[in-house]
Structures are given as structure tokens and as C-alpha cells.
Amino acid sequence: MVHLNYMGLSFKDRVYRTTKKIPRGRVATYGQIARLAGNPHAARAVGLFMKTNPHAPIVPCHRVVALNGALTGYSAKGGIKKKKEMLIREGVKFRGDRADLKVSRWKAR
């Protein structure tokens, strides 16, 4: 279980700290990150934070996917194709073009 102690941090900083904890070979959804960072209804904000992530690759925004495992926007060079290549290299399993969440979803609480 991940212990998240984020007293006094902005939601954005909590999102980046939470995302930083996603291990190689695992993915999390935007909604999962929002919930873990303390605002379960802010999945879209998480997406914006991932798009403008100034801390890549320390904060692995490529490990955040849609609720159905789809690889939505990736603003770094190479786009979604590059995101998928990176995830495969890290050991994330796919079913077609979607991350297989049954196998590769991060089990943080």
C-alpha cells in the first residue's frame, strides 16, 4: 500500500508526487491518480498536468492512461506511438492498442 502524506501541497503537486510512485511495468488511470491525490472528480485536471509535466521523466506521465487503458495524448516527441513503445519496454502488457489494466494496473490505494 502506498502511503501518501501530502499535507499543505497543491493538488497539482500531489498529482505529480503520486504519479512519481507508479512503478515500471505498471500504469494508472487519470481518475485513479485524481483519487489518490485527493480529488476523485479531477481526472481531466490530471490529464492537463500530465500534458504540461515539467518534471519528465522523473514524473513518468507516460504511465498514466485512460480508464479503458487507451493511450490518450502524449505531448513528447513521437506522441502516442512513443508512449506505447516506452510502456512495452517497461513491461506493460497490451490488448491491441490499450494497456491491459487487468494485468498492468498499479494497485495503489
In this prediction, residue 75 carries a pLDDT of: 77
Distant-in-sequence, close-in-space partners of 42: CB < 8 Å, separation ≥ 6: 11, 34
pLDDT at 5: 60
Separation in Å, CA 34 to CA 3, 18, 69, 93, 97: 15, 9, 16, 23, 23
Any idea where the domains of the chain sit in the sequence? 11-104
Say whether domain 11-104 belongs to CATH 1.20.140.10: no
Active-site residue set? 61
Cβ atoms < 10 Å from Cβ of 29 = 21
Decide: helix, strand or coil at residue 105: strand
Tell me, what's the pLDDT at 3? 47
Per-residue pLDDT of the chain (109 residues; tens, 9 = 90+): 454 566 688 999 999 999 999 999 999 999 999 999 999 999 999 999 999 999 989 999 999 999 999 999 777 888 899 999 999 999 999 999 999 999 999 998 6
**Alpha-carbon torsion (4, 50, 72, 100), positive or negative:** negative
pLDDT at residue 4, rounded to an integer: 58
